Amino acid sequence: MALTLFRGIHTRPLLPYSSAFSARKHVIFCSMQSTQTETSMKTKQQAPSNFTETARAKAVEKVLKDYEAIIGIETHVQLSTTTKAFCGCAYTYGSQPNSCVCPVCMGLPGALPVLNSKVIKCAVMLGLALNCKLSLSSKFDRKQYFYPDLPKGYQISQFDIPIATNGFIDVDLPLEFGGGHRRFGITRVHMEEDAGKLLHTGSGPYSQVDLNRAGVPLLEIVSEPDMRTGIEAAEYAAELQRVVRYLGVGNGNMQEGSLRCDVNVSIRPIGQLEFGTKVEIKNLNSFSAMSRAIDFEIARQAELYNQGQADEIVQETRLWEEGSQKTFTMRKKEGLADYRYFPEPDLPEVVLTEEYVNGIRESLPELPEMKRRRYEEMGLTMQDILFLANDVNVAEFFDATIAKVPDIKLAANWIMGDIAAYMKNEKLSINEIKLSPQELSELITSIKSGTISGKIGKEILIELMKKGGTVKGLIEEKDLVQIVDPVEIEKIIDKVIANNPKQLEQYRGGKTKLQGFFAGQVMKESKGKANPGLVNKILIEKLNAKS
């Protein structure tokens, strides 16, 4: 029941919340969105009972009748380049601490940064994918502050001339939350370097610093404050992740920290032009946490407004605590931090030629939004579309399958049905099952042509997913070719009827339901190979024949 609406910026939400939360039918969808470990982690963390969820959903729904929530998101995407942004250290997640280091990323005296050209390429790719305007000449700046995970005492970033600005991203909201099309603005995309990691050892007077990650390239994406609900925010983030993965610039993994989102939330009474005080929320490890944190924050702020304590909403950073499902004050901002930005003298300007940009533009893969629109044109339903297009690997599988066999709906159903169920049970991704798109298309063709029955088809499927192999091979090996010769079928039916005189009598006596029994026996006898349609046709004739 998807409503396809185009939504402009700064308008009020048109979709109700209520039905969304109680129905957790979206589990498969979410798992497709995030793949791998995120699913299991998320389902474990969904500690709150449905009761709390519904309660909160209702609370937020009520709030949004009187207030408008203004939500903006800052996302950091860690690029999966081989080396760091400014030095030749190879970075691998999970390496022994302080092993991927050199004078440059350690901030040793006399060391100098040199930009990795792949970082520019990734930035341009993402900028184009987000429909941004590219700065043909951008520069780096130093963002200065002291912290143990920041070796130089400054971060090389881009301040006033980022590489990309003024873009947008199109999303389709999940159906279980009402569906709908949205466009959210992107303010800017810029290049910067990551800091190291600071670990707190719980007790003890020391913290530990690991500088492996220092200098890893990041792209920071700042959205316009266009989101109005937690769901919209979560879908924005999910779509960003999708784009990042589609482009192959990063693996966009929130658990590993290769995708980090900080959210800014403020509310204002509906009709008021002035924005409310915005609050930053950090420590969001999943999209659903983001959604819940935003909802909590909206409710919290509204409560304060309602009690006439709106001035207690201060500009601050709050942390989302998964256990208690609440946000807590991390620190109050006493005025904005002064980072004393100035242009980075050690790095020349980044100059892009039209040629370079066009080259990248032409080599961009089909992005999720384009894919969704293409699937729409093919006649797939929104439900199918969201399922198939949300994971780049599933989409690839699907595209490969229908390249061979034009039966789009069948292919979609197989993937969304039996295959998805298997993957869920076995906790595998579509790249890990042994079934190939070629074999799936072969399977579909075999069933369509009548070579095998649908039922046999399902059985073979499991085998193919588990062990691989080819459809043709299995058919031959297990002698699965469907029996479509009426004479053959008649023989089997005769045999079955002969072997079950009692049931025949009962049937002829009026128990017509026993047809099913006979049909079952025929299938058993034929090892499932008999064509069900023919079986039923001939069986009925035989059963109803006199004597």
Partner 1 sequence: MLSSVQNPRILLLHHCRRSKPLHHHHRLRRHHYPKSIHASPLPHPISASLPTSQIQTIQKSILSREKTTRQFAEEFLTRLRTTEPHVKSFLHVSETVLNEADEIDRKIDRNEDVGPLAGVLVAVKDNICTADMPSTAGSKILENYRPPFDATAVRKLKESGAIIVGKTNLDEFGMGSTTEGSAYQVTSNPWNLECVPGGSSGGSAAAVSARQCVVSLGSDTGGSVRQPASFCGVVGLKPTYGRVSRYGLVAYASSLDVIGCFGSSVADAGILLQSICGHDKLDATSSKREVNDFTSQFISKDYFESQPLKGLRVGVISETLGDGVNQEVVSSIRGAISHLEELGCTVTEVSLPSFSLGLPAYYVLASSESSSNLSRYDGVRYGNQTVSDELSSLYGGSRANGFGPEVKRRILMGTYALSAGYYDAYYKRAQQVRTVVQKSFKAALDLHDILISPAAPSAAYKIGEKKNDPLAMYAGDIMTVNVNLAGLPALVLPCGFVKDGSASLPVGFQMIGAAFDEEKLLRVGHIFEQTLQGYSFIPPLIADEFKSSSVKIYQLG
Partner 2 sequence: MGTRALLLLTPAFKSDCNLLNHFTKYGFHQTVRQQEKLFRVGVRKFSVHSSLERPNVARLAETARISLTPQEAEEFAPKIQQVVDWFGQLQDVDLQSIEPAIRPDTEAGSFREDNPEAFDNREAIIAAIPNYEEPYIKVPKVLNKD
Minimum CB separation from partner 1 for residue 144, in Å?
6
The residue among 248 and 533 lying less far from partner 2, judged by its C-beta, is 248
Minimum CB separation from partner 1 for residue 256, in Å?
25
Work out what residue 110 binds among partner 2, partner 1, none; the CB cut-off runs from 5 to 8 Å by kind.
Answer: partner 1
CA distances from 118 to 79, 105, 158, 418, 491 (A): 9, 17, 17, 40, 70
The residue among 109 and 271 lying less far from partner 1, judged by its C-beta, is 109
Minimum CB separation from partner 2 for residue 344, in Å?
8
Work out what residue 41 binds among partner 1, partner 2, none; the CB cut-off runs from 5 to 8 Å by kind.
Answer: none
Under a CB-based contact definition with an 8 Å cutoff, are residues 515 and 543 in contact? yes
Residue 43 C-beta-side C-alpha neighbours within 13 Å: 15
The residue among 341 and 517 lying less far from partner 1, judged by its C-beta, is 341
The residue among 316 and 488 lying less far from partner 2, judged by its C-beta, is 316
Q: Coil, helix or strand for 321?
A: strand
The residue among 107 and 469 lying less far from partner 1, judged by its C-beta, is 107
Work out what residue 118 binds among partner 2, partner 1, none; the CB cut-off runs from 5 to 8 Å by kind.
Answer: partner 2
Under a CB-based contact definition with an 8 Å cutoff, are residues 469 and 494 in contact? no
Under a CB-based contact definition with an 8 Å cutoff, are residues 217 and 191 in contact? yes
Minimum CB separation from partner 2 for residue 293, in Å?
19
Nearest CA-CA partner of 534 in 488, 499, 480, 503: 488
Under a CB-based contact definition with an 8 Å cutoff, are residues 404 and 441 in contact? yes
281 alpha-carbon distance from chain centroid: 21
Burial of 545 (0-12, 13-18, 19+ CB in 10 A): exposed
Work out what residue 112 binds among partner 1, partner 2, none; the CB cut-off runs from 5 to 8 Å by kind.
Answer: partner 1
225 alpha-carbon distance from chain centroid: 22
- Cα gap 437→468, rounded to integer Å: 11
Work out what residue 330 binds among partner 1, partner 2, none; the CB cut-off runs from 5 to 8 Å by kind.
Answer: partner 2
Q: Coil, helix or strand for 460?
A: helix
Minimum CB separation from partner 2 for residue 290, in Å?
21
Work out what residue 107 binds among partner 2, partner 1, none; the CB cut-off runs from 5 to 8 Å by kind.
Answer: partner 1
Minimum CB separation from partner 2 for residue 124, in Å?
13
Under a CB-based contact definition with an 8 Å cutoff, are residues 286 and 274 in contact? no
- Cα gap 94→333, rounded to integer Å: 33
Minimum CB separation from partner 1 for residue 351, in Å?
13
The residue among 162 and 437 lying less far from partner 2, judged by its C-beta, is 162
Token pair listed for 228: 């109005």
Nearest CA-CA partner of 295 in 4, 54, 45: 54
Q: Residues 249, 250, 252, 256: what is their CA dihedral angle, to the nearest 10 degrees?
A: -170
The residue among 44 and 200 lying less far from partner 2, judged by its C-beta, is 200
Work out what residue 109 binds among partner 2, partner 1, none; the CB cut-off runs from 5 to 8 Å by kind.
Answer: partner 1
Work out what residue 473 binds among partner 2, partner 1, none; the CB cut-off runs from 5 to 8 Å by kind.
Answer: none
Minimum CB separation from partner 2 for residue 96, in Å?
6
- Cα gap 291→284, rounded to integer Å: 9
The residue among 152 and 188 lying less far from partner 1, judged by its C-beta, is 152
The residue among 331 and 502 lying less far from partner 2, judged by its C-beta, is 331
Minimum CB separation from partner 1 for residue 86, in Å?
9
The one-character DSSP state at 138 is E
Work out what residue 111 binds among partner 2, partner 1, none; the CB cut-off runs from 5 to 8 Å by kind.
Answer: partner 1
The residue among 2 and 111 lying less far from partner 1, judged by its C-beta, is 111
Look at the block and give the residue holding tokens 């500690």: 47
Work out what residue 287 binds among partner 2, partner 1, none; the CB cut-off runs from 5 to 8 Å by kind.
Answer: none
Backbone torsion region of residue 454, taken as left when φ is above 0, otherwise alpha when ψ lies between -120 and 50, otherwise beta: alpha
Binding residues for partner 2 (CB under 8 A): 81-83, 88-90, 96-99, 101-103, 106, 108, 114-118, 120, 139, 145-148, 198-200, 204-211, 330-331, 338, 343, 345, 348-351
Binding residues for partner 1 (CB under 8 A): 103, 106-115, 142, 144, 146, 148, 151-154, 205, 209, 338, 340-342, 345-348
Minimum CB separation from partner 1 for residue 352, in Å?
17
Residue 183 C-beta-side C-alpha neighbours within 13 Å: 11
